[in-house]
Structure 1
Amino acid sequence: MEQGASLALPRLCVLLTALLALCPCCSQGTWMWLGIASFGFPEKLGCANLPLSARQKDLCKKKPHLLSGIREGARLGIQECRNQFRHERWNCSVTAAASPSSPSPTSDLSVFGYEQSSGTKETAFIYAVMAAGLVHSLTRSCSAGNMTECSCDASLQNGGSPSEGWHWGGCSDDIQYGIGFSRRFLDGTSNNSTGKYRDALTTMNLHNSEAGRQAVAKLISVDCRCHGVSGSCAVKTCWRTMSSFEKIGSFLKDKYENSVHVLDKLKKKVRRKEKDQRKIPVHKEDLIYTHRSPNYCMRDQKLGVPGTHGRECNRTSDGPDGCNLLCCGRGYNTHVVRHVQRCECKFVWCCYVRCRRCESVTDVHTCK
């Protein structure tokens, strides 16, 4: 480690500790910071100095080998959030991670800024996709044999339906370990359905985290491989596997689009905001929110909303990436961009490559 970086680490540790002491309620979401931290940086800080709650630090100390999986889960969730909302007015922007040479924890710990604690639909998606990312990452590590305390799903061994020509085999993903650890790490309990929560935002975050975990479980699929003479499928070996995280992200994005507005007053159970719909139950797979989203069209410095000014849009699209919707009716500017690149390359004997210099001109549209 460079001398400047080593001097910055103690300073960053003090700043992180002071911030968490001033704002202990922020610690529930600060683990997300691991997903954008510089490579190797969390490991250098150690569990005690990471921006985690006391319970999370304790789990980290007991199972330090899980830190890389936790970090990968955070990275996976952040990446998929960006992917699902890349064309939306709110594009899941995150703050840049601190580096050892230039720490700035006061802005970095929030990761998603205002949306992380606003109680909006965006908050709902953040907590769901991050919890799902943690389950997905740890389950993959189990199936890959990277951890001694979990492996493949042993409950399926010697099962199947031989009469129908198939049996369980291979390495089925055991998501129960990932789900259980995600609950302990994020919620502080192995079953959040019976706990008592201190406020509506906490209840909302816990519900949405569980909805993210349930999405991973719901989308688990069965893969099979055929065995037989000359490529026949006389017998099939099947195993359970998680869906790609992009598919899970799309599922949660649909839940976001149909999220349920609930009362912001603490009750024995979550109830819908609209009086005429309160008899309709809120399912554990639903995403819920307590506050309406702000206007993401215009910049709001107080809330940290950047607005859509300057965002690139698609002039011919009728979707959310279209200039009409993304620019909120303000119109757009058109810029001509010239690209120069090598093309029509040919190998000349002997021995070099000859290319032409090709130019292309494209129109780029940005919101006013």
Structure 2
Amino acid sequence: MDTRGACALTLLLACVCPLICGASWMWLAVTSAGVPELPGCRGLSLSDHQRELCIRKPFLLPSLQDGAQLAVAECQNQFRHERWNCSTSSEPPLFGYELTSGTKETAFIHAVMAAGLVHAITRICSQGNMSECGCDARLQNGGSVTEGWHWGGCSDHIQYGTWFSRKFIDNLPKNSSVRRDSYTLSTMNQHNSEAGRQAIEQTMSTDCRCHGVSGSCAIRTCWRMMAPFERVGKYLKERYERSIQVPNQSRKKSRRKELSRPVDKSQLVYINKSPNYCVQDRRRGIAGTQGRRCNRASTGPDSCSLLCCGRGYNTRVERHVQRCECKFVWCCYVRCRRCESMNDMHTCK
């Protein structure tokens, strides 16, 4: 796609996402990475408070795109073997039914998107590309010299990224709060977005560099840094698998047992049970698992028995041709053989 076409795609996606989409900035995840310049804040279909914040801080617009793309890619990476594989929709909203269904999948989407934004903003802060933030200097000159280490280097300052993510994504009234005894979709999404931001902090690590004569490591300089986003995604996937169903405020009756369950801010919560995702449902944007590749030898979620939902699977033989037994020939080229292999591929019926 040429530059003109990519820009047109960007503007089109910005226009088709309606304002009622609670997280319309997610559409930035599907814009072309080759677009040299994103449309201005006024050209994006953002909510009023998001547009106002974007206009005040237009230099953060590329990071909005980076955070959205990072989150969507990691969502699809973590669920690539599941019945629901974090598929994106060709029509708004981006994730289709799952974005507003109030299910465990909704919880993960909002958590990973909020985390992706924190990660992207914090990264440019640490790179020194912004005047409003930089490294975390609060730890400087701390530590224990007697134990042979001290804080130094450039610690990732996640506070600014967390603040911006919270300010940009959360849009509940000031007097609104996430109650422990009942949830609406909005308060559920806010809770899970905060859990995503907490995941960045929970997965941070301490890195150190040795100093001393001949590498003796007489003293170490240490700093705090964010984990690779794949580790954050894995952390959130574990929270997804242990997510908690909470009472829905719209329901007339709630079980007393549910009302008494404590909910930690790092836990993911949901209000509705998930569909099985086995069969295609166009109305809900559920793709189903027909035609998905499965692993006959696996016992996990990618196994043919689980992924195909008991419908069985088709098998076909694929022929692969690749270069092999390569040798360097003086002078100066590489000579290789063509090797062929035949592999079975299984797809769900």
TM-score, length basis structure 1: 0.86
2:231 to 231, 236, 247: 247
Find 1:217's aligned residue among 179, 185, 201. Answer: 201
User: Could you tell me whether the CA contact under 8 Å between 1:9 and 1:45 is conserved in 2?
Assistant: no
**Partner Cα separation in structure 2 for residue 51 and residue 11 of structure 1:** 10
Report the count of equivalent residues: 345
Q: 1:264 aligns with which of 248, 264, 284?
A: 248
2:131 is aligned to 148
Q: Quick check: 2:38–2:62 contact (8 Å CA) kept in 1?
A: no
Partner of 1:184: 167
Partner of 1:159: 142
User: SS of the counterpart of 1:318?
Assistant: coil
Residue 311 of structure 2 is matched in structure 1 by: 330
Gaps of 5+ in 2: none
Query: For the structure 1 residues 260 and 75, does the alpha-carbon distance in structure 2 shift closer, same or farther, using more than 3 Å as the test?
Result: same
**Residue equivalent to 1:113:** 96
Q: Distance in 2 between matches of 1:124 and 1:277?
A: 18
Q: Pairwise mapping of residues 336-351 of structure 1 onto structure 2 (< 5 A)?
A: 336-351=317-332
The SS at the match of 1:163 is coil
When the two chains are superposed, the root-mean-square deviation of aligned CA atoms in Å is 2.8
Instruction: Name the counterpart of 1:100.
Output: none
The reply on whether 1:122 has 2:105 as its aligned counterpart is yes
- Alignment CA distance shift 1:195-1:148 (3 Å): same
Counterpart residue identity of residue 222, structure 2: C
Per-residue Cα deviation, 1:20-57 (whole angstroms, up to 9, x for no partner): 3xxx331x211011011113559442110112111111
Q: CA–CA distance in 2 between the matches of 1:40 and 1:354?
A: 35
Does 1:50 pair with 2:44?
yes
- Once the two structures are TM-superposed, the CA of residue 194 in structure 1 deviates from its matched residue by 5.9
Q: Distance in 1 between matches of 2:3 and 2:166?
A: 39
Alignment match, 1:228: 212
Paired amino acid for 2:276:
N
The counterpart of 1:276, out of the listed 229, 232, 257, is 257
Structure 1: where are the runs of 5+ without partners? 97-106
The superposition leaves residues 59-79 of structure 1 with CA deviations (integer Å, 9 ceiling, x where unpaired) of 111111111111111111101
Q: Distance in 2 between the 1:14 and 1:282 partners? A: 36
The one-letter code sitting in structure 1 at the alignment partner of 2:248 is D
CA change 1:346–1:139 in 2 (3 A) is same
Q: Would the alpha carbon gap of residues 206 and 331 (structure 1) be closer, same or farther in structure 2, given more than 3 Å must change?
A: same
Asked if the contact 2:305–2:312 (Cα under 8 Å) also holds between the matched residues in 1, the reply is yes
1:195 Cα deviation (Å)?
2.9
Structure with the bigger percentage of helix: 1
Mapped pair 1:308 → 2:308: no
Percentage of pairs with the same residue: 59
Aligned to 1:39: 33
In the superposition, relative to structure 1, how do residues 151 and 15 fare at CA in structure 2: closer, same or farther (>3 Å)?
Answer: closer
Structure 2 counterpart of 1:327, one-letter code: C
- In structure 2, the CA distance between the partners of 1:317 and 1:308, relative to structure 1 (3 Å rule), is same
Amino acid at match of 1:121: K
Do the aligned partners of residues 335 and 139 (structure 1) sit closer, same or farther apart at CA in structure 2, a change above 3 Å counting?
same
- 1:289-309 deviation line (CA, Å, top 9, x unaligned): 111111201111111111111
1:134 to 108, 111, 117: 117
Deviations 1:167-192 (A, max 9, x none): 11000011000000001110148xx9
1:175 counterpart (150, 158, 163): 158
CA–CA distance in structure 1, aligned partners of residues 6 and 30 of structure 2: 20
